[in-house]
A and B are shown apart, each in its own frame.
Chain A
Amino acid sequence: MPLDAPFIQRALIEALLLSGLAGVLGSWIVLRRFAFFAHGVGTAAFPGLVVAGPAGVAPQLTGLAAALLYAGGVEWLGRTRRVATDAATGLALVAALAIGVILASDVFEAPASVDRLLFGSLLGLSDRDLWLTAAALAVALVLDLRLRRSWLTQGFDPATARALGVRAAVADPLLLVAIVLACVVALDAVGALLVTAVLVIPAATVRLVAPSVPTLQAGTAALAAVEGVGGLWLAYELNIGPGPAIAVLGGSVFALVAAVSRWR
């Protein structure tokens, strides 16, 4: 792998920035059981990404708009109680994928880009992509510093959170916003369908053995960095997509750690 090539350097920096997001937010995604929400946000952003190219705007912007529309739609459907939340989520995800595919292949007639949008391209990033990921990481770090006790208490013991002086009504929506931002900036690297490979799988793996939240966050960041760089190397050497390579590597490590921790 040519480390002096700018596209490889950008890919490595992005992998490390995403590992920071995985450490800070991935841990909360797993602890607070927002893994499916994160997967949903990634998938829902797909039609937004399709529109970005022909519209000449940043894909992160249209992806964010689509993701927020999805999150708001699911929340509204759930609140009306006319549709169960899981059914509403399934409905929204199928609609997002179908609309994205129709837009890409029949409206904008660019079917070749569908693979890239769904599975990402860590090797084709711009400087702007890196700056956006860095900004999302900065936001995540600030929110984590300010709200981690609220997120912890509300997750561990929601019945008592308010009596302990925790304001979950503000903290939890901000956690969801941070997750949406993290998913959107990860889309270029790993695509709409593999966001969880970066934001969920490393945290779920370390979760099997971590004794505390700080250990979980540090361990997740380290593992995500190793899997990101390792997946990138595998992708380059085997001439396969970096997103799928990272996902397969992450899944394999998870299976190994799960088996070993169970055996011990």
Chain B
Amino acid sequence: MMELQDDLLAPRFAALAYPVDDSDWREVVGRARSEPWMRRHQRLVFALALIVAAGVLVAAAFATGIAGRFSAWVSGAPGIPAPPGLQQGFETRNRAAYASFPAGTKLRLLLSRRVSGTTFSLLGFRNGDAYCLRLVRADHPNAIGRNECLRAEELTGVPALVTGDVWFSVGKPAKNINGVYGFAADNVRAVVVKRLRGRDTVPVLNNVFLSLRGARAGSVQNHPLPNPVVAVEALLRNGKFENVPYVTNGGGVLPGGARPAGPSYFAPPTQSAIPGPSKVTAPIAHPTISWLKKHEPRGKPLPNIRFSNPAFGRVIQPDPDDPVRIGIAVGAKGALCDYYFTPLAPTTWGGGCGPWFQFGPINLGSWFNSPIEHFNGFVADGITHVTAFLASGRVVQAALRDNVFAVAVSATELPGRLVGYDARNRVAGIVEVPGNSVIKSCPKPTFTKPVSQLPAPEPWEKINLATLTVNGQHILGMTPQQVEAALGKPTVIRGNAQITNGVAIPEFRYGGALPSTLGLSIGFSKKGDRIFANSLSYQSPSLVDAKLGHVLRMQPAALEQAIKRTYGTTLRVFISYGSNPGFGCTAVLKERSAPSGISIGLDPYRPSRPYLDIRANAYG
């Protein structure tokens, strides 16, 4: 067969080809040699395993059920030694940090990824019996990066575990890079990270994975539409897929990214799902921390805390294998203060003061939502141990030292209950920690008054979705004076609905004064000296579109379909109604030629009044 010399297609494909050579033959041979050898020599493997299991480290791995599942880590030497720059950067940061790792900690480079021109390095190390990951930009090795440590127990029963979700801003013009990273077992070949739009399949190396994606940063006036991670799956070496629990936007879990059959949203879970004791059997009458009141110098001195001037405070490290430190202090007015020192941060990461044990003998401090949740706080004298009961069924002992406790658990296992016990193992205090929402179907709005009985629309109730105009005028972009001239005097003007850089920004309300009764709320924004309308939020049942009629007397899903049919050439669906529970019972449609757009839907807790918003930014 004679082959054509193609000067038409070939150059175009050549221009599209990704030229970077990221080949690694050693990795190929490593993959080739690992599993089949294990299969061919199962007996030998078993015998070796018995011998090696005598070692303390591996015995611990067996005890936690991860032996043979995270072999790169159990062997103690995953990846390769970190390049000098990354190692020295860590040491510099570690020396300056308040919540530091032990001096002499040696990092290993597990994998690198280059995204939008920036290289990210995922490093690993052991800290006591904890496995730690550090994600950092390779060109900023002494930055704080993201650091997460967890114990082997967290890795039992799952093929992979997302330990961090990250966001970086790089370059000029700025690009946002976000994604997830974590651990994966030996039998996981790759991890599939599903986003609202698209998915990434990333390989597993050294029992870890890293998925990052770059996108333009945009601006306040024109910011990009969100594309969050909605689910994570493990591609096993046998070709099968297994769900990796992941808490997506909206605080719930979409197993495998499977979308519900109908429009849905995330609703708070019922507390009855949480195991563990629910009643206090040995209350503490006057909860206090006597050593703190007596100013005993336990732990380490509290560093200078900005915006705070405690009378006396100390820093406690409850878990010697976790660098997290908790500051405990008596505030200037006698309040009980807590401060959280995250790993490698130079000072406190957050905290505050409040009454002593206002809600019982367990004082839960602040925490930051992340795939691994770090709960910490104080317990009153008399509580000798704290146990976390999780909705997953797992029970975890919190570290407790000098009345300060800390426990880290996967967010996917929540909600939970922290239970404080006294020396006689009686329940002295309980604190519930919020957790993952559950998927519920969007309610259908019910309309009591037929359309024929609705009042005739006012000028501000006449819209045209083809042009996003109101009564024939482009309201978006108008000054408050122009809006009033175009639509008439509002029912209520909230003169200082928000304050931006000391400037009052108004809100106009038409057809009602209260959020629950108003027909239209016009929001304004400020750019430079100019204040202009940037959103119109309708709830008025009399709202009419030039072609579709009473749009807020239609079911939202039907309205979305009608808009697609009628205005599909100018508006495209970005989020279909209730298709992603993380966004709630809403649909977002963006103008094809502009950042503006509309959203339609309803508040599931007040379903009788669906809404239609017209926005300068479709998702803003």
User: Do A and B truly interact?
Assistant: no
Give B contacts to A, CB under 8 Å: none
